[in-house]
Amino acid sequence: MNLEVLNMIDNFVWGPPLLVLLVGTGIWLSVRLHFLQVFKLPKALHLIFSAKNKGEGDIDSFKALCTALAATVGTGNIVGVATAIHAGGPGALFWMWMAAFFGMATKYAEGLLAVKYRTFDANGNIAGGPMFYIERGLGKKYKPLAIFFAVAGVLVAFFGIGTFAQVNSIVEITQLTLGVPVMWTAVILTGIVAAVTIGGLQSIARTAEKIVPAMAIIYCASTLGFLIIFYDKIPAAIIEIMTDAFTPTAATGGFLGATVMVAMRNGIARGVFSNESGLGSAPIVAAAAKTKWPAEQGLISMTGTFIDTIIICTMTGLVLVVSGLWNGDMNGATLTQGAFLQAFPNFGSMMLMVGLVLFAFTTILGWNYYGERCCEYLVGVKGIMPYRIIFIMLVACGAFLKLEAIWVLADIVNGLMAIPNLIALLGLSGVVVSETKAYYAHLKEEKMQTRVTGRISETFKE
């Protein structure tokens, strides 16, 4: 299938209906939850480290978040932002912000429903995610929709975010920076992926828990260093981002409506690729968290979108716009590398390479698990090992494909995965609201009991 045909399919899948469905679902949930992503964000960030981790589950809440972030904080934060701004102009970053803001409410609902409707598989492990809240929440008659999601999930893991886009980025940056031959990178990467993924969720979660916080700090420190050096250009860059989101300068050629749509489409599509809000991937691992309150895990899941897009993608986007290289001939990792070299001519390439390799590697691990859970839903536990073998083989093949075709293919399967999940979120929004109210009523009661206990203790002391 040639690139032109893929682009036609991509334009159809990511047309106005899906963009409206994605953002519209986020807006609807934001309103129904009274903009929880603003008013409850401090509580959510606090829960990352203070969740009690009581209740059924395979891993603690922090590991679940790290595994989800391992899958989301990837090439989308570096290469995806670069391709979005190159194609849609600086205004694409504004639309990434909009998608992420409303996507936080979407991610909250996904995490909540994942815990609410989770179950156990034949091996005694937690099984959850959109396929389960579609079937168990909406009802058995919606099982075809759950099957559609699971099939799309396997396709995304095999041909979208999970393998090709990540491997291609690792190969490109290591060849560009160190001159490492493609074949060697493919062999080494495949071996490491195989060693970790064969161990299943526990192995992936342990790896993610160690790598994700470190890689986020390293990359954020690097981008922060760039922005400090060029601090005087930041105000102009922000103005350019805001104005280009609504003007013809957002992309070269065309008329106003077309260029604004290009910025909007690229921003939202790449934003979803990066933070996966609405895609239905993160709830698959959120379901495995040790918690008895669905809303608690929903809040923790919500921070993933905040960290991924509002923080990391914003820093990458500002670097690219400040550099002024976005409207040149460079694209993808080469564009981001060119920007970093302006501030760090001696070691900018190495800094970017370390960040990108770690981001992409952990995304491969996270998506291996997502696809595995989808495969298990379709064919049972007997499909786990064949799935892992196929996944590892595709990682090996991903090094030899072209960038343009990879991103278009990833966009297509992402869109297909999002559709059934968004339908379920809309259908179960009432459940999300009631569970949220129940959780906050519990917190209020717990706070009152603590106060009463404290007063009684004080009385006895007297």
User: How many Å apart are CA 458 and CA 462, to the nearest integer?
Assistant: 6
User: How many Å apart are CA 110 and CA 93, to the nearest integer?
Assistant: 24
Q: Say yes or no to pLDDT of 189 above 80.
A: yes
The confidence band for 53, taking pLDDT boundaries of 50, 70 and 90, is: low
Q: Say yes or no to pLDDT of 63 above 80.
A: no
Two tokens, residue 66: 């790290």
Domain boundaries, the chain: 3-447
Give the pLDDT of residue 197: 84
The confidence band for 1, taking pLDDT boundaries of 50, 70 and 90, is: low
Give the pLDDT of residue 134: 95
Residue from 70, 350, 90, 324 nearest 222 by CA: 350
The residues, any chain, with a CB within 8 Å of residue 204's CB and separated by 6 or more, are: 67, 70, 196, 197, 365, 366, 368, 369
Mean pLDDT within 87-108: 90
Compute and round to an integer the Cα radius of gyration of the chain.
22
Two tokens, residue 29: 């949930």
Residue from 245, 219, 198 nearest 69 by CA: 219
Residues 255, 248: contact at Cβ < 8 Å?
yes
pLDDT digits (tens, 9 = 90+) for 384-443: 999 999 999 989 887 776 656 666 777 788 788 889 999 999 999 999 999 999 999 988
Mean pLDDT within 40-68: 76
- Poorest-confidence range of 62-76, 309-323, 344-358, 440-454? 62-76
Give the pLDDT of residue 276: 77
Give the pLDDT of residue 275: 79
Mean pLDDT within 133-155: 93
For the chain, percent of residues with pLDDT exceeding 90: 31
SS (H, E, C) 357-401: HHHHHHHHHHHHHHHHHHHHHHHCHHHHHHHHHHHHHHHHHHHHC
Give the pLDDT of residue 145: 94
Residues 122, 381: contact at Cβ < 8 Å?
yes
Give the pLDDT of residue 74: 67
C-alpha to C-alpha distances, 394 to 2, 74, 136, 159, nearest whole angstrom: 19, 18, 32, 8
Q: Compare 1 and 450 and report the one with higher pLDDT.
A: 450
Give the pLDDT of residue 14: 74
For the chain, percent of residues with pLDDT exceeding 70: 90
The residues, any chain, with a CB within 8 Å of residue 143's CB and separated by 6 or more, are: 134, 135
Give the pLDDT of residue 25: 94
Q: How many CB atoms lie within 10 A of CB 173?
A: 28
Residue from 48, 73, 59, 113 nearest 367 by CA: 73
Give the pLDDT of residue 254: 41
Two tokens, residue 309: 């897009």
Q: Say yes or no to pLDDT of 461 above 60.
A: no
Q: Say yes or no to pLDDT of 18 above 70.
A: yes
pLDDT digits (tens, 9 = 90+) for 259-269: 677 777 778 77
Q: Say yes or no to pLDDT of 149 above 70.
A: yes
- The H-assigned helical ranges of 230-293 are 234-244, 256-275, 282-286
Q: Say yes or no to pLDDT of 324 above 80.
A: yes
Give the pLDDT of residue 359: 80
Q: Say yes or no to pLDDT of 294 above 80.
A: yes
User: How many Å apart are CA 121 and CA 84, to the nearest integer?
Assistant: 39
Angle between helix 403-427 and helix 256-275 axes, rounded to 10 deg = 80
Q: Say yes or no to pLDDT of 68 above 80.
A: no
User: How many Å apart are CA 111 and CA 447, to the nearest integer?
Assistant: 24
User: How many Å apart are CA 252 and CA 159, to the nearest integer?
Assistant: 30
Q: How many CB atoms lie within 10 A of CB 410?
A: 25
Helix (H) or strand (E) holding 224: helix 200-229
Q: Say yes or no to pLDDT of 452 above 70.
A: no
Q: Say yes or no to pLDDT of 280 above 80.
A: yes
Angle between helix 348-379 and helix 384-397 axes, rounded to 10 deg = 150
pLDDT digits (tens, 9 = 90+) for 230-256: 999 999 999 999 988 887 554 444 434
pLDDT digits (tens, 9 = 90+) for 336-367: 888 888 988 888 788 888 888 888 888 888 88
Two tokens, residue 189: 């990467």
CATH fold of 3-447 reads: Amino acid/polyamine transporter I (1.20.1740)
Per-residue b or e along 115-153, where b marks 16 or more CB atoms closer than 10 Å to that residue's CB: bbbbeeeeeeebbbbbbbbbbbbbeeebeebbbbbbbbb
Give the pLDDT of residue 319: 93
End-to-end CA distance of the chain: 81
Residue from 50, 103, 54 nearest 306 by CA: 103
